[in-house]
Amino acid sequence: MDIPPPPPGFVLETGGDIPPPPPGFVLDDPRGTNLARTVGLVAKGANTGLIAQGLGALPDLVAYGMRTVGVPNSPPPGFYTGKVQQGLDYVTTLGGTLPDLQSRTQGERVAQAVGQGMGQAASMMIPAQGVAQARGPDQ
């Protein structure tokens, strides 16, 4: 495979000091952001599992029943869960002012999935705990 020639005026520097970055250029220190990103992604996953999927599950179940019996204009599957997630995304990004935290690597996707699993587990245990406390200790 032939390598094309460099463009006119291109000079390859092979030694010496690296020139300074242009004004306004900021190089993020990955050691300082990895832990914060991981914690943020676990929290985002927990919000998805606990709030979005927990709050959206009941209306989605009703919509499933509506679709099953043939009610016209029934919402599609996952409609309400998606709307709750959109609301969460709006709140957590302060209306789009802050960037939305997206997982970029496999490890970050695992961290977000762990948070989501914790949120889903909590969405089941919290109501069960409330029922157990309402029954009282002697029953």
48-98 pLDDT, tens digit each: 988 888 888 889 999 999 999 999 999 999 999 999 999 988 888 887 777
The whole domain housing 90 covers 45-118
pTM over 0.85: no
Per the model's pLDDT, the better-predicted residue between 73 and 8 turns out to be 73
User: How many domains is the chain partitioned into structurally?
Assistant: 1
The candidate with the shortest Cα–Cα distance to 83, out of 115, 51, 61, 112, is 51
Q: Which residues of 3-16 are buried (b: 16+ CB within 10 A; e: fewer)?
A: eeeeeeeeeeeeee
Q: What is the pLDDT of residues 85-136, one digit of tens each?
A: 999 888 888 877 777 788 778 888 888 999 999 988 888 887 777 777 777 6
